[in-house]
Amino acid sequence: MIALFLIALLWLRFTTTPPVVNAQDQQPAADSDAVLGKQIWLPFVSNVTSDNVASDNVVPDGDRDTTQTAEVQAAAAQSSVIVLLKDRADLTNIGGANRRARQRKVINALRAKANAAQKPIMALLRTRTAQGKVSHVTPFWVINGLEITATADVIQELAGRPEVLTITPNATIAAPAAPTGNVAPEPNLTVINAPALWNLGWRGQGIVVASMDSGVDISHPDLSAQWRGGSNSWFDPYGQHPTTPTDLSGHGTWTMGVMVGRDAGGTAIGVAPDAQWIAVKLFNDQGTATVAAIHAGFQWLLDPDDDPNTADAPDVINNSWSFGNPGCNLEFQLDVQAWQAAGIVPLFAAGNYGAGT
């Protein structure tokens, strides 16, 4: 991760035009579970329909058929899913603008496309919410999708709509474990020639580094001074620590220290000690993250203050977490492409599980 981070800083130093996202790359490929061009996950039993919960199917407790009761309960139960729509914003012609203008154009294009494409779905969901069949809806403009908690028949109804591309579970992943023991930092910095860059005056000044991890401990003496500060510099999608950077695990604090840590303890620990940092607390206090929260983190980092006209997105974002091992999962492909289109450098850890990973 350290070497990748150094490469990213050098790329930012010498590159003014980020890579262009090709139009054909903006559509996530369907996997082997795709059916008729759609990857659809339908919960519960296949024979549950809205007919199972009609009022004339409800009978007094003493006469109630247990099979029917199970079907009624299944039909009334709700599941959380991610609904991805087909329509995509064209991000291919945004190249060449300066970074601030580029980010503004990307954000506005994504917002406009999502607002237009999601209107029919949102109208349907308002109706189903009034019927008690939908309990939660969170729209995402970064991917033109929604997190929806709904009954099986509503999910099945959404699956039949032509504008829907995929429906997948709002799955949960576990946070990575923090390192144990004392690890001497000096050798790793020397191996990647970080001191040589420092001697040239390149210590990360003017760069904003972001982390999507377990959080960051704001009280850490090697990190507290570099926090950018303000509501556009910390995001907890679970609302457990809404204003103060916090890390109950230690993993996110450790990775941030590798990137921008200073030498308050007498030893230099970070590659870019003069860079500022912001962070997303990707994992809740229980050590898990939902797919929806991860999408929310991607979106927040693209526009931290929810104002496209301000240039407050980070320059580089580190992600030391995984989503399934082994294998390649395209759940967050569109999120990453949005970052790249806006000129943000995404970094993902690799090889954390040993040889061959």
Query: Which pLDDT tens digit goes with each residue over 254-312?
Result: 999 999 999 887 777 899 999 999 999 999 999 999 999 999 999 999 999 999 999 99
Asked if 279 and 246 count as a contact pair (C-beta separation under 8 A), the reply is: no
Q: What does DSSP assign to residue 227? A: B
**Strands of the chain, DSSP E:** 39-40, 78-85, 134-140, 145-151, 164-169, 172-174, 208-213, 234-235, 276-281, 288-290, 316-319, 345-348
**How do residues 285-295 score in pLDDT, each as one tens digit?**
999 999 999 99
pLDDT of 186: 63
pTM over 0.75: yes
Q: Count how many Cα atoms sit within 13 Å of the Cα of residue 285 in the half-sphere of its side chain.
A: 7
pLDDT of 177: 84
Average pLDDT, the chain: 83
**How do residues 52-99 score in pLDDT, each as one tens digit?**
222 332 333 344 444 556 556 655 799 999 999 999 999 988 876 688
pLDDT of 338: 97
**How do residues 205-236 score in pLDDT, each as one tens digit?**
999 999 999 999 999 999 999 999 999 999 99
pLDDT of 304: 98
Q: How far apart, in whole angstroms, are the C-alpha atoms of residue 218 and residue 224?
A: 5
Which pLDDT band, with edges at 50, 70 and 90, does 6 fall under?
low
Report all structural domains of the chain as residue ranges with CATH numbers, in order of start. 2-24+174-348 (3.40.50.200), 26-171 (no CATH)
**How do residues 328-347 score in pLDDT, each as one tens digit?**
788 999 999 999 999 999 99
